[in-house]
């Protein structure tokens, strides 16, 4: 089933010049970019985005980190993309994540872990709505779709 997921290259990813590396991994997997916004996320928007973690000991630091400098906020689309991206991202803490994953290859911190990816269809829908109006999301066909999916084999 075609899904959309919210991906945020967080402030450490932008500051460490890793936006291109991360976008490159998503592009090479064949995913479709359908929306993008370069913005400094406000403290209030960061709290809404991470509302599920409110009350946890890391909540204040987490929302301060996300709002501390510009992020690149995007929507990517593909069949089954939500789980595929979660696997590409790796474990939550950079220091725990496996080599081969974005966090495992590029980060080593407890809290600064470069990237956010939605973890379910429901959270993807909520998160996308928080950052994008419907008319900011493009609908188009990728020219190489038949080579990506190879349905006839
Ligand atoms: P993920 O980003 O893998 O979806 P999450 O949604 O459970 O992880 O948590 C959101 C962010 O909060 C995560 O990217 C980093 C931070 N975080 C989570 N657990 C933490 C912990 N035990 N200590 C410090 N930061 C934590
Ligand atoms: Mg999460």
- Kindly report the protein residue whose alpha carbon is nearest to atom 1 of ligand 1: 92
Task: Please check whether residue 143 lies inside any domain of the structure.
Answer: no
Task: Please check whether residue 109 lies inside any domain of the structure.
Answer: yes
Whether the per-residue pLDDT at 46 is higher than 80: the answer is: yes
List Cβ neighbours of 56 (8 Å cut-off, separation of 6 or more). Answer: none
Task: Please check whether residue 16 lies inside any domain of the structure.
Answer: yes
Whether the per-residue pLDDT at 151 is higher than 60: the answer is: yes
pLDDT at 114: 98
Pocket of ligand 1 (CB under 6 A): 53, 58, 62, 92, 110-111, 113, 116, 119
If one counts the domains in the chain, the total is 1
**Confidence category of residue 117, pLDDT binned at 50, 70, 90:** very high
Q: Quick one: average pLDDT of 19-47? A: 98
The CATH number for 121's domain is 3.30.70.141
Atom of ligand 1 nearest to the CA of 50: 10
Between residues 123 and 94, the one the model is more confident about: 123
Mean pLDDT value across the chain: 96
**Confidence category of residue 150, pLDDT binned at 50, 70, 90:** confident
Q: Is 17 a catalytic residue?
A: no
Whether the per-residue pLDDT at 64 is higher than 90: the answer is: yes
**Confidence category of residue 48, pLDDT binned at 50, 70, 90:** very high
Nearest to 25 by CA among 98, 88, 86: 88
- Kindly report the protein residue whose alpha carbon is nearest to atom 25 of ligand 1: 111
Q: Determine the residue of 82, 92, 107, 109 to mutate for testing ligand 1's pocket, defined as the one with the most ligand atoms within 8 A of the Cβ atom.
A: 92
Radius of gyration, CA atoms only, the chain: 15
What residues make up the domain containing 96? 2-137
The C-alpha angle 22, 25, 28, rounded to 5 degrees, equals: 145
140 alpha carbon – ligand 2 mean position (Å): 28
């Amino acid at each position: 089933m075609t899904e959309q997921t919210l991906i945020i290259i967080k402030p450490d990813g932008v500051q460490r010049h890793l936006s291109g590396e991360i976008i490159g991994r998503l592009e090479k997997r064949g995913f479709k970019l359908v929306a993008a916004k370069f913005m400094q996320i406000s403290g209030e928007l960061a709290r809404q985005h991470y509302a599920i973690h409110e009350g946890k000991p890391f909540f204040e630091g987490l929302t301060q980190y996300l709002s501390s400098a510009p992020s690149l906020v995007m929507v990517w689309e593909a069949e089954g993309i939500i789980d595929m991206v979660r696997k590409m991202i790796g474990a939550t803490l950079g220091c725990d994540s496996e080599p081969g994953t974005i966090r495992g290859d590029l980060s080593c911190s407890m809290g600064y872990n470069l990237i956010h990816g939605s973890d379910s269809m429901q959270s993807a829908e909520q998160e996308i709505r928080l950052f994008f109006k419907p008319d900011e999301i493009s609908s188009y066909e990728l020219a190489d779709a038949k080579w990506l999916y190879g349905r006839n084999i």
